[in-house]
Homo-oligomer: A and B are copies of this chain.
Amino acid sequence: MAIERNKLRWNGWGWTAHKDALAGREEVWAWLAQELGMPSLLATPARKLEDANLPRPQLAPDLRARLVAIVGPEGVRDEPYERAFHALGRSYHDLLRLRAGDLAQAPDAVVYPRATEEVLALLSLASQRDIAVVPYGGGTSVVGGVSGNRGAFPALITIDLSAMDRVAEIDTLSRTAAAQAGIYGPALEAALAAKGLTLGHFPQSFEFSTLGGWIAHRGAGQGSNAYGRAEDWLAGAKLATPRGLLDTQTFPASAAGPDLLSLIAGSEGIFGIVTEATLRLHAAPAASDYRAYLFRDFASGAAAIRSAVQEGMPSTMLRLSDADETRFYRAFARAGQSATLKSRLEQAYLDARGFGRQACALIAGIEGEKPVVASAASYFAQIARKLGALPLGRGQGGRWLAGRYHGPYLRDPMMDRGLGVDTLETATSWSKLDALYAAVRAALDAAMRETAPRPGAHGVVLCHISHSYSDGASLYFTYIFPRALGGELAQWQTIKKAASDAIAAHGGTISHHHGIGEDHLPWMAQEKGQLGIDVLRAVKAALDPKGVMNPGKLIP
């Protein structure tokens, strides 16, 4: 296994040993309290594993023996750490429950198959013997995609793919690779880099998520403008189902009827388990240019992105923070430091040039062959100049790259201090983007005020355009708020519902790249239509007639 799971947090993000960047920085907490209208932030530590409520495993001994017969004794695990680690994903409300020691959803056993044939045998057994199955890659779902929901079944196993992490074949001529689905991001990219290739799929969870998970939830990496989304780079897949193997052939394109791969991408384990996939690759980029710009407002920044993508400019990432996100991260970095003469002069200069409270930072990242990168970078600089933006150079771009996977680590210390932190995302057409942005911001703000633990307290809403297309873009919201201690799940549900209703009412998709899981179920009927839901149910019935696969996810 390429990753040492026992060094990962079972109730938080990433490596246990990761240094807490906020430890001892009381000036940051004081500033944050003030931003949220709170007098102070109290310590709210998490329970230890040994104090958690972990139910006894429910698996009958003969069933356990059958599992062992398939995957070997090492492949069936039911010690507390394993079961706790796999109980839930890593969403904000997952962490609320894990930190409270609520492990009611822990699986009865975690099973580690080593080959597609073993997965097929496991699913056939589960279907015959009424065992619910949760497929599990890295477990980083933030939408309840791997919650240990057993539906109406008496037992639940989690099938963890992380022992299936081999790159089976790299076709350098066709620029494709076949790999097992349990491979983690870094191991996959290392194998490809050895051949001068890259998949280019770098979600924020890159270090802790797997190929199969990216496909199952239809993900998009931060560089998807250049490298595509999961459904774009997915060229072929083996889907193990309770009824056998669905093995799509791999073609560059085909008109042989509907595309079954597009049913597999985004299927979130409800039809079966992706065990192997063939991927479209790119040459490892020879050059890379990440630089920042400051736009006068969100509209002009968005217009720059729209121009670039509609005019066919090659880009890897065009990320525009709104004014609040721009100011928040700037202030966060400087919290507790008294303003220096230099910083005051800088701000005065920016104000004088019209870059005041509405100013928005944009990072333009371009990767590829050297001449292509140089010409695209200069093309974007021209677009930005025409729209009155201020070039900030490469420093901020480089800092963003260096910290691209660090954001989720900040959530744990915040949760230790009575705060809630969650993210959500959507996408819509360019013509609906402004209204959607305003509506979701307003909904989040109102719901956080309404559910605040004390009068006058409130949250902050940060947003950026994260991915862009010729016909529209995605909006990624981060919201931070003081927790209503004791009523935290209800508070989260109120906020989530307000935002999701606003998304659905303003022409946004309920998810651009996080997926549906359990959290977005209430909006699926509107998203797909009743007949669309019927179609998904029919596909599920054809592949998983007993309904053992990942109960309670994706289909309402």
Contact = CB atoms under 8 A, between A and B. Distances in A.
A527 B259 CA distance: 11
Nearest to A217: B255
Contact of A171 (B176, B429, B531, B532): B429
B255 A511 contact: yes
A283 interface: yes
Interface string A174-210: 1110000000000000000000000000000000000
A258 B262 CA distance: 6
A245 B531 contact: yes
B471 A235 contact: yes
A314 B473 CA distance: 22
Given A246-B535, A310-B175, A256 B429 contact: no
B536 A258 contact: yes
Contact of A252 (B231, B280, B314, B469): B469
A4 interface: no
Contacts of A555: 257
A510 interface: yes
Interface string A368-379: 110010010000
Given A175-B310, A260-B528, A314-B312, A427 B252 contact: yes
Contacts of A478: none
Nearest to A272: B531
A268 interface: yes
A248 B532 contact: yes
A438 interface: no
Interface string A534-546: 1111110111000
A176 B471 contact: yes
A542 B537 CA distance: 9
Interface residues of A, number: 91
B259 A266 contact: yes
A554 to B, nearest CB: 5
B543 A541 contact: no
A473 B254 CA distance: 11
Contacts of A347: none
A472 B429 contact: no
A509 interface: yes
Interface in A355-385: 368-369, 372, 375
A260 B246 CA distance: 18
A483 interface: no
A311 interface: yes
Between A246, A430, A472, the greatest number of chain B beta carbons within 10 A of the residue's beta carbon is seen for A472
Interface string A450-482: 000000000000000001011111100000000
A243 interface: yes
A219 interface: yes
A255 B470 contact: no
Interface stretch (A33-41, A71-79, A514-522): A514-522
Contacts of A529: 245-248
Contacts of A282: 470
A53 to B, nearest CB: 33
Nearest to A251: B509
A251 B218 contact: no
Between A252, A474, A537, the greatest number of chain B beta carbons within 10 A of the residue's beta carbon is seen for A252
Between A241, A253, A515, the greatest number of chain B beta carbons within 10 A of the residue's beta carbon is seen for A253
A173 interface: yes
Given A171-B431, A229-B253, A256-B515, 5 more contacts: A171-B429, A249-B527, A253-B474, A257-B268, A257-B528
23 contacts: A174-B431, A174-B471, A175-B470, A218-B257, A219-B255, A235-B471, A243-B534, A245-B529, A249-B509, A249-B527, A251-B472, A255-B513, A256-B528, A257-B266, A257-B515, A257-B524, A257-B527, A258-B262, A283-B311, A312-B372, A531-B543, A535-B543, A538-B539
